[in-house]
Chain A
Amino acid sequence: MSDAARTPDTGTRRKPDTATRGRGDAAIAVRALAGQREFEGAVELQKQIWGFNDI
């Protein structure tokens, strides 16, 4: 099983894209995070959105 499809360490079950919404030409897909890279991506997003990471 590839990393992207494996159940991540959080115990969150990986699902296919289950929620989408058109935003202009873009389709936004919501799905469970999977793999180290995506969790690190969420940490980076946290820094960008809140401007800090001390919570």
Chain B
Amino acid sequence: MGGQAFGAFDSNRMIGFCLAIPGLKPGGGSYLHSHMLGVLPEYRDAGIGRLLKLQQREDALARGIELVEWTFDPLEIKNAYFNMERLGTIVRRYVRNQYGTTTSPLHGGLPTDRCVAEWWIASPRVRAIVNGSEAPDRPEIVERLPVPADITAIKRQEPKRARQIQQELSNRFESNFSRGLAVVGVERSPEAGTYLFGKWE
């Protein structure tokens, strides 16, 4: 089947990596499912995750692939912001408990509910964003869905409340997606991250 794996190296030390596997959509369209991207904590917030994703995009385009998908936890606003605003993904699908409950401390014992990010890597929107030029106008924002900025601490300290927030979010995501809306952006403030929904053609 093959796959795609890139590493980020500080001299000879691997400090981050990403891994993707190819897939076929009904009808035969090929895409990549990006299964993992991780960077060691001491190397985060330095643009290395973006470097890995840009390399993933370049390689996929060279193979004639125009769609890369991956899942992310909608409670993790930093990741959501990176996906939407720094890479230009959109989201139209929500999956409850995608991986089952895992042993990872990062997941806090919560069901692994996930958004599916679609990265249309040849689109004008993505080209503009990854080239650093101004992104094309967003569609009109018709729904806003806030997530507390301190959700990571809530997951750790108040798991029942975190679960309640997750359930409310999942209902809202699914309701909006059933109306044909897509997440087209994310805003961040000290108090909250906010998913922005609009019509996506």
Judged by DSSP, the binding face of B is mixed
Tell me if A2 counts as interface (CB < 8 A to partner B): no
Tell me if A36 counts as interface (CB < 8 A to partner B): no
Number of A-B contacts (CB under 8 A): 103
Tell me if A5 counts as interface (CB < 8 A to partner B): no
Q: Which of B3, B17, B58 has the most CB of A within 10 A?
A: B17
Separation in Å of the B106 CB from the closest CB of chain A? 6
Bound complex: CA A30 to CA B59 (Å): 12
Residues of A within 8 A of B2 (CB): 10-12
Task: Name which residue of chain B comes closest to A17, CB basis.
Answer: B9
Tell me if B51 counts as interface (CB < 8 A to partner A): yes
The residue from A11, A28, A49, A50 contacting B8, defined by CB atoms under 8 A apart: A28
How many residues of B are counted as interface, with CB atoms below 8 angstroms from the partner's CB atoms? Answer: 36
Residues of B within 8 A of A38 (CB): 7, 14
Tell me if B70 counts as interface (CB < 8 A to partner A): no
Interface string of B1-24 (1 = CB under 8 A from A): 011111111110011110100000
Bound complex: CA A30 to CA B7 (Å): 6
Beyond A26-B11, A48-B40, A50-B104, list 15 extra A-B contacts (CB 8 Å): A10-B3, A11-B3, A12-B2, A13-B59, A28-B46, A28-B51, A30-B8, A30-B48, A30-B51, A32-B4, A45-B14, A49-B38, A51-B106, A52-B102, A55-B102
A-B contact pairs, 19 of them (CB 8 A): A10-B4, A11-B2, A12-B2, A12-B4, A12-B6, A21-B47, A21-B51, A28-B9, A28-B10, A28-B15, A30-B6, A30-B9, A31-B6, A33-B6, A33-B17, A46-B17, A50-B106, A52-B102, A55-B99
Given that A11-B2, A28-B48, A33-B6 are contacting pairs, would A42 and B14 also be in contact in the complex, using a CB cutoff of 8 Å?
yes
Residues of A within 8 A of B4 (CB): 10-12, 32
Separation in Å of the B179 CB from the closest CB of chain A? 31
Bound complex: CA A54 to CA B99 (Å): 9
Judged by DSSP, the binding face of A is mixed
How many residues of A are counted as interface, with CB atoms below 8 angstroms from the partner's CB atoms? Answer: 31
